[in-house]
Amino acid sequence: MAAIALFCCAYILGLLCTSLPGYGLWLSGVWAGLALIRRHYAFQSWIHRQTWFLPQWRSSLPSAQQFLIAALLSLFAAGYLQLRLPQPGFQDVSRLLPADQNSLTLQVTGTIERRPSLTRRGSVQLWLEVQTAQFPQAALKDRSQKATGKLYVTLPRKAAKNLAPGQAVTLTGQLYRPKGATRPRGYDFKSYLAREGAFAGLRATQAEVHSPSGWTVGWSGGGLLGLAIRDRIVQSLIQGTDGRTGPLLSALVLGKDAADIAHDLKDDFIQAGLAHALAASGFQVSLILSAVLTLGRSLPTARRMGVGFGALLFYGLLSGAEPSIVRAILMGCASLVALGLERKTRPVALLLMVAVVMLIYNPLWIWDLGFQLSMLATLGLMVTVPPLMESLDWLPTPVASLVAVPLAATIWTLPLQLYIFGILPIYSLVANVLTALLLSVLTIGGLLASCGALLWPLLGSGLAGLLFWPLQLLIAIVSGISQLPGHALALGSISRWQLLALYGCIGGVWLLGKTQWRLMMALGLLVLLVPLWHVKSQRFLVTVFDESRIPLMVIERPNSTVVINSGDRLSATQSLLPFLQREGINRIDWAIATDSVSLQQSGWSALLSRLPITTLSRSIPQAIAQAESGRSSPQPQQQIDVTLREPMTLGALRMVLWRAQPTILEIDLDAIAQSGGAQNGSAQATQRWLLVDNSNEADFSAWLSTVQLPPIRVLWWTGSSVSAQFSAQVLEKLRPQTLILSAKRQDPTVVSTLKQRIPQLFWTAQDGTLQWTPTGFSTTVNPGDNNLAPL
């Protein structure tokens, strides 16, 4: 069994190491080196002389031949992943995009692959299997051509009405090339589409349905037959409750993809540390198996196994092929086999084998966050719950179980959460304990209501109606916890070596025994906190986001943070807030709103609901727009109206608002830059920035002739594009060393001309988010860091 565990680990580690330089070839060298050491006689003699080495470890130590097989398996895994990477076919629809264009108007005909769902912007998203493509502006004989591949499609809700999986549709819109990560450790949309087998997206405006949805059986996405049955169940549950609690009940039973849960409710579950409750996993599978085996206890063993396999397969078709549910179903099937053979299973070895089977089927799952968290949480339940139950023997067994299960899962998933999100959920354990019984009742009740809906929709609705008030209680508890002050502590994203060290400490407790937990905990805290403290105490960083509508900047200094504008609610919650959390920022000391749009679009209220703001400076006297959810929005501790041409200071940071509409803001980083970078000679010149927002060139040039500005180091031009004459009219007077253009549309020839006249030029549409330190600027387009990959 030790050899099987070694081979499984070699394959999994070989896949993980493909993101490292050399595709992890060095890992095979490590295995080969261990084989040489294992074969050496002196090493074997040394092992037998060590009293600390557990006897069972001596007997199960892999042989040299087994280490060599592990080296070959790691090599195979690295090559296998490269072979399975999706590549666009010769007729893939993405190849219709010319190399010098990022979008074009196109009509595509194909089949809807999955259930359409709502996005945060209120549009509908779906996946389309493409069959033909047409150019509306081309001649009739050249219009249609065969095309293949998959498209990620978004379209307005009105145009998407009554769309369903299996329908043949023609969509008209803008075909576009997806972007990679444009922010530090940000969401890589291009890689996400590639893992799904899509290499282009379509912003559709019209949809024409050619055929109704068909019923075919398949596994991907639950199969169309499974989707049709699932929709019948979901509609029955919603009719018995309402539009808010019905989708929640459906998610508790069938997973988050079964229905469109309100985004604010989904966010509450995430902030409370209960996101796992919305994902179909082992809990639902264990309930189904328990019910089947109990009801069929009078049947022969073979029939009980057959009924169990059928129930698991049927549930898989309904819930879809998400990694967490596939893992749970495979382990459930293995448990049925062990029951039929009357043999005991080794949980950890079984988990490793299930992981290998899944990764052979789809090696790209190694980078799927759901797969990673599911495997780690399950491992934690297997190896950490028993010692925790022993330590909590002073509590009643049911209470100890309520504490031990979520605590074990949290211990094993927390390092990965810190690496990706940089957040420590403070009340996660409390939330899991408070809602454990309620979630169990709702899940069991939801399964019964789903069975009733299969027989008769009104029966399912009636059973679901009995769960309405328990669902309301669950929502109230989750919402209350998510709004508690300090519900999530932003520690900042940890590095890769910290991630490995933390899992080394956790694994040390497992392998060496719980007597070493204090030592390992102390080491883990040192590994976690000391580097984070060092970075925060030394950091001076200016981040210019690639927003083209509203200028967005974050200035990080030791013990203080400044944010200029928040954008709309979506930008604030999906771009700015995750960035602040990954930077370990729990408070905004100074917020500056330079225009009325930023105040009107409730971005500040969204930030205030998650982070306190000490001072908000407004260039225009106006109240902050309230949150769309209707909740009372917190307010900054202090709100002040900015006086034109009056300096504003926070420590060594100084700003001057020269004009309000359109905005012209001077940002003086000179004192900070000299204190943070003068030792390397990079701060000899004045670090004074000038932000010009939504101003045309003629107006700005005329205004510039009426004032006397100090020397400008960086000119940040946002909102509108610039012309080739811009340098002659403006740049020669200001003479900036760096020009930042944040316009979404800009003539590339003008950019090339300006680059010849300015020492340094950045265009955020191409370069992505910019970051400045006293050592200079850096861009973040294609940062080479996959935020969904732990290595």
**546-562 confidence digits (pLDDT tens):** 876 788 999 998 888 99
Q: b/e per residue, 316-350, with b = 16+ CB within 10 A? A: bbbbbbbbbbbbbbbbbbbbbeebeeeeeeebbeb
User: How many other C-beta atoms can be found within 10 angstroms of the C-beta atom of residue 179?
Assistant: 17
DSSP code of residue 74: H
Residues 6+ away with beta carbon under 8 Å from 191: 180, 181, 786, 788
For the chain, the maximum distance between any two Cα atoms, rounded to a whole number of angstroms, is: 94
Residue 628 pLDDT:
52
Long-range contacts of 87-91 (CB under 8 A, 24+ apart): 88/149, 88/199, 89/148, 89/149, 91/146, 91/147, 91/148, 91/149
Residue 144, phi then psi, degrees to nearest 5: -100, 140
**Angstrom distance (rounded) from CA 325 to CA 374:** 9
Mean pLDDT of the chain: 83
User: How many other C-beta atoms can be found within 10 angstroms of the C-beta atom of residue 378?
Assistant: 23
Residue 181, phi then psi, degrees to nearest 5: -65, 125
Whether omega before 636 lies within 30 degrees of 0, making that bond cis, reads: no
Question: Does residue 553 contact residue 566 with C-beta atoms inside 8 Å?
Answer: no
Closest CA to 701 of 685, 682, 725: 725
Residue 346, phi then psi, degrees to nearest 5: -100, 110
3 state SS of 53:
coil
| Burial label, 212 (beta-carbon count in 10 A; 0-12, 13-18, 19+) | exposed
DSSP code of residue 544: E
Closest CA to 127 of 214, 202, 181: 202
**Angstrom distance (rounded) from CA 399 to CA 309:** 33
Bridge partners of 144? Answer: 134
Beta strand 423-425 with 553-557: parallel, antiparallel or unpaired? unpaired
**Angstrom distance (rounded) from CA 243 to CA 118:** 14
Residue 604, phi then psi, degrees to nearest 5: -65, -40
Q: Tokens 């504490």 — which residue?
A: 403
Residues 6+ away with beta carbon under 8 Å from 415: 494, 498, 499, 502, 503, 506
**Angstrom distance (rounded) from CA 672 to CA 176:** 42
**Angstrom distance (rounded) from CA 487 to CA 272:** 7
Beta strand 760-763 with 738-741: parallel, antiparallel or unpaired? parallel
Task: Name the band, by pLDDT with cuts 50, 70 and 90, for residue 11.
Answer: very high
Task: Name the band, by pLDDT with cuts 50, 70 and 90, for residue 174.
Answer: very high
Residue 133, phi then psi, degrees to nearest 5: -135, 145
Residue 679 pLDDT:
40
H-state helical runs in 259-322: 263-271, 282-295, 301-319
Q: CA of 481: how far to CAs of 267, 272, 411, 450, 487, in Å?
A: 12, 6, 20, 29, 7
Closest CA to 417 of 536, 525, 309, 271: 271
pLDDT in tens, 236-259: 999 999 889 999 999 999 888 888
Lowest-pLDDT range of 147-151, 216-220, 465-469: 216-220
Question: Does residue 34 contact residue 69 with C-beta atoms inside 8 Å?
Answer: no
pLDDT in tens, 562-620: 999 888 888 888 889 999 999 999 999 999 988 666 555 578 888 888 889 999 888 76
Lowest-pLDDT range of 170-179, 423-432, 514-523, 776-785: 776-785
Tokens of 226: 């499974």
Q: CA of 759: how far to CAs of 98, 403, 667, 762, in Å?
A: 31, 60, 20, 10
Tokens of 588: 């905004």
Lowest-pLDDT range of 119-128, 291-300, 360-369, 489-498: 291-300
What pTM does this model have? 0.87
Question: Does residue 168 contact residue 146 with C-beta atoms inside 8 Å?
Answer: no
Question: Does residue 212 contact residue 167 with C-beta atoms inside 8 Å?
Answer: yes
Beta strand 714-718 with 688-693: parallel, antiparallel or unpaired? parallel
Bridge partners of 689? Answer: 667, 714
**Angstrom distance (rounded) from CA 33 to CA 27:** 10
pLDDT in tens, 641-677: 888 888 888 877 889 999 888 889 999 986 555 555 4
Residue 728 pLDDT:
64
Question: Does residue 376 contact residue 368 with C-beta atoms inside 8 Å?
Answer: no
Tokens of 265: 């409710």
Residue 257 pLDDT:
83
Tokens of 702: 């005329």
pLDDT in tens, 672-716: 555 554 444 444 446 889 998 877 777 888 888 888 888 889 999
Residue 141 pLDDT:
47
Lowest-pLDDT range of 113-127, 200-214, 234-248, 482-496: 200-214
Three-state SS string over 161-185 comes to CCCCCCCEEEEEEEEECCCCCCCCC
**Angstrom distance (rounded) from CA 552 to CA 653:** 17
Dihedral sign, Cα of residue 647, residue 648, residue 653, residue 657:
negative
- H or E, element range at 444: helix 428-455
Tokens of 559: 């013990």
Residues 6+ away with beta carbon under 8 Å from 700: 664, 692, 730
Question: Does residue 694 contact residue 718 with C-beta atoms inside 8 Å?
Answer: yes
Residue 173 pLDDT:
93
- H or E, element range at 207: strand 198-211
Tokens of 75: 């090599």
Residues found in the chain: 791
Instruction: Count the alpha carbons within 13 Å of 130 in the hemisphere toward its beta carbon.
Output: 33
**Angstrom distance (rounded) from CA 292 to CA 307:** 7
**Angstrom distance (rounded) from CA 386 to CA 397:** 12
**Angstrom distance (rounded) from CA 249 to CA 726:** 58
Tokens of 111: 């089949």
pLDDT in tens, 271-307: 888 888 888 888 888 888 888 888 887 888 888 888 8
Bridge partners of 406? Answer: none
Does residue 222 surpass a pLDDT of 50?
Answer: no
Residue 182 pLDDT:
81
Residue 150 pLDDT:
93
3 state SS of 141:
helix
**Angstrom distance (rounded) from CA 189 to CA 179:** 6
Tokens of 725: 């004459």
**Angstrom distance (rounded) from CA 281 to CA 288:** 11
Closest CA to 289 of 271, 311, 269: 311
Task: Name the band, by pLDDT with cuts 50, 70 and 90, for residue 321.
Answer: confident
Instruction: Count the alpha carbons within 13 Å of 80 in the hemisphere toward its beta carbon.
Output: 20
